[in-house]
Amino acid sequence: MIANPSGIRTAGAASLTICVCTCQRPLMLARCLETLGAQVIPDGVALSLIVVDDTPERAVRLTVAQFCVTSPFQVYYVHEPQRGCARNAVLNKAVALGADWIAMLDDELAASDSLASMLALPAGHRPQPYRTIHGA
């Protein structure tokens, strides 16, 4: 596993873990990661990212390692060699990290620049925890 623990979680911050499952699409993943890296993270929100590589070859390990160099938040790479099990692996990792909120994003999608800012909304206007937040 690659881990970039540079993004320190502030006590009391809501944690949003973005989960991306990918399979042999390093160029699409690189674009997705670029849009995630451009997120404006509001005060009181700790953002982290988990990428699960769903191939025996570890096809996107280098892509994730390169993103870790400049990522403004924690990044975790998980290798799941058994195809079709990436979703379970990413959710298990997110829960193990203690995520308050989990957002699933397909590797071919660009992240909306307001993804992290949803947690800055007043409590009554936020999506419910552990519901899927769809990217556009």
> pLDDT tens digits, the chain, 136 residues: what are they?
444 444 445 566 778 899 999 988 999 999 999 988 988 777 778 889 999 998 888 889 999 999 999 998 999 999 988 887 888 888 889 999 988 888 888 888 777 655 655 555 545 555 555 444 444 4
pLDDT of residue 124: 52
Given the structure tokens 């890296």, which residue do they identify?
37
- Hey, where are the domains in the chain? 2-7+14-116
CA-CA-CA-CA torsion sign (36, 92, 83, 67): positive
The CATH code of the domain at 2-7+14-116 is 3.90.550.10
SS3 (DSSP) at 61: helix
pLDDT at 47: 87
Q: HSE, CB side, 13 Å, CA atoms: give it for residue 131.
A: 7
pLDDT, residue 68, reads 93
Which pLDDT score, from 0 to 100, does residue 16 have? 85
- Up-side HSE of residue 109: CA atoms within 13 Å toward CB? 16
Q: CA-CA distance, 127 to 82, in Å (whole number)? A: 32
Per-residue model confidence (pLDDT) at position 119:
55
C-alpha 119/C-alpha 131 separation (Å) is 13
pLDDT on residue 133: 47
The reported pLDDT for the residue numbered 2 is 47
CA atoms within 13 A on the CB side of 130: 6
